Amino acid sequence: MQKAKNKAKKQLPAILGGPPAFEKIIPITCPTIPSTADLFKEYKKIFKSGMLTNASYVEAFEEAVQKYTGAKYAIATNSCTNGMMLTIKALGLKGEVILPSFTFHATAHAAAWNGLKLVFVDCDPKTYNIDPKKVEAAITPQTCAIMAVYIFGNPPDIESLEKVAKKHKLKLILDAAHGFGTKYQGKSAGGFGDAESFSLSPTKLLTSGEGGLVTTNDPDLARKLKTGRNYGDPGTYDSEFSGFNARMSELHAALGLTSLKVLTKNVQRRNQMVTLYKKLLSQIPGIDFQQIEKGNISSYKDFSILIDAKAFGLSRDQAYQALNKENIMVKKYFYPAVHNQIAFRGYPKRDTGLKNTNFIAENSLSLPLFSHITEAQIRKIVKTVEVLHVNANAIKKNLK
C-alpha cells in the first residue's frame, strides 16, 4: 500500500499540469449495441414492408418484454416520461402525489404535467431510494398516488410501498427508467405496483435509441395506455380522452429487440465490473457505495460513489473538476435535487428538510460504467482517483 501511495504521489494530476490519465475522453456511459449487420437486415425488411410505425416489430417487442419481465401487458411508447404521463392520465389521478426528490427530474415532470401537487419526501441514506415510512407519514386525504424510482437500477423497498399503497388505497407507479434488467427479491422489474415505466434512451442497458415501455397487470389500464399513446383514439377516430402521440416506431422496436438479446449478459457484466470497482475503491479512504439490499440485483444503470470530503481530501465538486481534467467523464447525479430546482421550489416539503436527499445530491459522483467497459479502464480510473487522494492538498490549493 505504501509503495503504491509513493507511486501515486509521483504522478502529477492533470489539474496540476500533468498529462491526463486518458488520451481520449472515457464517457460516463456508452450503449452496447450488438451486431449492426443483423440490425440492418431488420431495417431492410421494415422499409420493404412500408410500415414504419406501430406494426409487427412493436408487437414482437412488446411480447418479448412481457416474457422477460413476467408482466401481463407491455405497451411500447416513445419515452419513459411520456409513459408515466399517460399512466397518470389513464388512472385519472387528481390531488397530491408523494415522490422522491433524489431522482432525475422527469419523475416530477410527469406528475406536474398532469396537474398533480407534488409532495417530496426523503430517501434512505444507504439505498438512496424513497423511504416507505416517510411516504406513509406524508399521506393526507388528498393523496392519490406514490411514485417510486429504481435509483441507478437499485429497486426501492417495493413490498413496503405496496403495503402502504394498499392500506391507504393509493396507486403505486414505479419510475423504472433505470430498472430494465433489475431483480427485486428474485423477480424481474416490470410486474410491480399498478404500472412501471421504463426508459430506452441511449444511456440505458436496454435501448431503442429513444423510447419507453409501460408494463402493467391491469387489463383496463393497458387498454387505456394503448389508446392514450395514439391521442386517446382507439382506432375509431372517435377519441375517448386527451392522449398524445407516444407511439414507438418500427425502427426503434427493431433496435430494442436486438438490444434485449444481450441484456442478461450485460447486467451480469456490469455487476462484475462494479464488484471490481468496489474492491479497488475500498482501499481509498472516504469513499462509500450505494447499498443494494440482500436478494436484489441492480441493473447498475449507473455506478455512483459517495465522497466524504474530510477522509478523501477533496469534496465531490473538487473531485468532479479534477477527474474531468483527466478525461474521465463523471456526473453529479442527481444534483441539484429536484425540490431545489427552479421548476419545483414552490412545492411543499412535508418531510423535514429532505436531509438525506440533500446530502447524497451534494456528495455523490457517478463514475464511467457501460457494459463493455474493460477491467483495464476501471483499474486506471481507480488509480487516478487514488492519485487525486494523495495529491489532495496541492489540488485544493490550486483550486482556490
**Window contacting ligand PLP (CB under 6 A); options: 61-69, 102-110, 348-356, 359-367:** 102-110
DSSP secondary structure of 157-169: -HHHHHHHHHHTT
Q: Which of residues 67-86 bind ligand PLP (CB under 6 A)?
A: 79-81
Q: Examine residue 291 and tell whether it contacts ligand PLP (CB under 6 A).
A: no
239 binds ligand PLP per the rule CB under 6 A: no
324 part of the interface to ligand PLP, by CB under 6 A: no
Choice between 369 and 385, CB closer to ligand PLP? 369
Taking the complex as a whole, how short is the minimal distance between the CB of residue 213 and ligand PLP, in angstroms?
Answer: 10
Q: What is the rounded (10 degree) CA torsion for 67, 69, 72, 78?
A: -100
Closer CB to ligand PLP, 81 or 227, in the complex: 81
Comparing CB distances to ligand PLP, the nearer of 149 and 387 is 149
Instruction: Tell me which residue of 279, 306, 281, 301 sits closest to 291, measured CA to CA.
Output: 306
Under 8 Å CB-to-CB from 194, ≥6 apart: which residues?
Answer: 87, 91, 171, 172, 173, 216, 218, 221
For residue 196, the minimal CB distance to ligand PLP (Å) is 11
Residue 295 CB neighbours (<10 A): 11
Outline where DSSP puts E strands in the chain: 73-77, 96-100, 117-121, 143-149, 171-175, 183-184, 187-188, 195-199, 212-216, 287-289, 303-307, 364-367
The region of 31-39, 61-69, 104-112, 233-241 touching ligand PLP under the rule CB under 6 A is 104-112
Residue type, 371: S
Residue closer to ligand PLP (CB basis): 91 or 177: 177
| Residue 125 Cα to chain centre, angstroms | 17
Query: Amino acid letter at 336?
Result: P
Quick one: 106 or 297, whose CB is closer to ligand PLP?
106
CB of 285 to ligand PLP, least distance (A): 30
- Please report how close the Cβ of residue 63 comes to ligand PLP at its closest, in angstroms: 21
Q: Which of 149, 172, 263, 292 binds ligand PLP (CB under 6 A)?
A: 149
Q: What is the DSSP letter of 78?
A: S
Q: Which stretch in 153-161, 174-182, 238-246, 341-349 sits in contact with ligand PLP by CB under 6 A?
A: 174-182
User: Which of 159, 158, 149 minimizes the C-alpha distance to 81?
Assistant: 149
Can residue 104 be called a binding residue for ligand PLP (CB under 6 A)? yes
Supply the DSSP string of 340-371, one letter for each residue: GSGGGTTS---SGGGHHHHHHHHHEEEEP--T
Q: Is 335 among the residues that bind ligand PLP (CB under 6 A)? A: no
Q: Provide the mask over 175-214, with x wherever binding to ligand PLP is found by CB under 6 A and - wherever it is not.
A: x-xx--------------------x-x----------x--
Q: How far is the CB of 337 from ligand PLP (least distance, A)?
A: 13
Instruction: Give 96 or 175: the residue with its C-beta nearer to ligand PLP.
Output: 175
- Would you say 81 or 143 has its CB closer to ligand PLP? 81
By beta-carbon proximity to ligand PLP, the closer residue of 120 and 312 is 120
Provide the grid cell at 343: 421548476
Please report which helix (H) or strand (E) contains residue 82, including its range. Answer: helix 80-90
Contact 164, 146 (CB under 8 A): yes
Contact 359, 340 (CB under 8 A): no
Question: What does the block give as the cell for 51?
Answer: 410500415
Residue in 74, 75, 76, 106 binding ligand PLP, rule: CB under 6 A: 106
- Chain residues binding ligand PLP by CB under 6 A are 79-81, 103-104, 106-107, 149, 175, 177-178, 199, 201, 212
